[in-house]
Amino acid sequence: MKKHIKTKYIYFLLPLTFVYVTVLIALNYALFRDMKKVTRTLIEASVFSFFIVFLPEIVSFYGIHNITGSNLFLIYFYLFSTIFGIFIIKKQERYINEILEKK
């Protein structure tokens, strides 16, 4: 059996940004030697980071309150990054379970 970082420990990084979670998830995929999953995870994280940054700007373009200059941006950022972190952790749990069931 290959050694990997257990996903229950990755959940402890959720209070930090999704960047730490993404790096550990990518490292886990690299330990399983699945570079396609590493690349896909990093691309998903990049797209998500652009989504987090530019969505408030797009919304403010249409006349809705701009949250980037207020304290709400911190809440907005952590809400979406926590949801994304849980999403990729769950996806990796399914992947690890599939790998372990094959053996």
| Residue 11 in domain | no
| Residue 80 in domain | yes
| Residue 7 in domain | no
When divided into structural domains, the chain yields a total of 1
The amino acid present at 43, given as its one-letter code, is I
Each residue of 26-50: b (16+ CB within 10 Å) or e? bebbeebeeeebbeebeebbeebbe
Place of tokens 């926590």: 82
CB 9 within 8 A of CB 93: no
Give pLDDT tens digits for 21-68: 888 888 888 888 888 988 988 898 888 888 888 877 777 777 777 776
Residue 73 sits in which domain range? Answer: 16-102
The pLDDT confidence band at residue 81, using thresholds 50, 70 and 90, is confident
Strands (E), the chain: none
The whole-angstrom separation of Cα 62 and Cα 59 is: 5
CB 13 within 8 A of CB 60: no
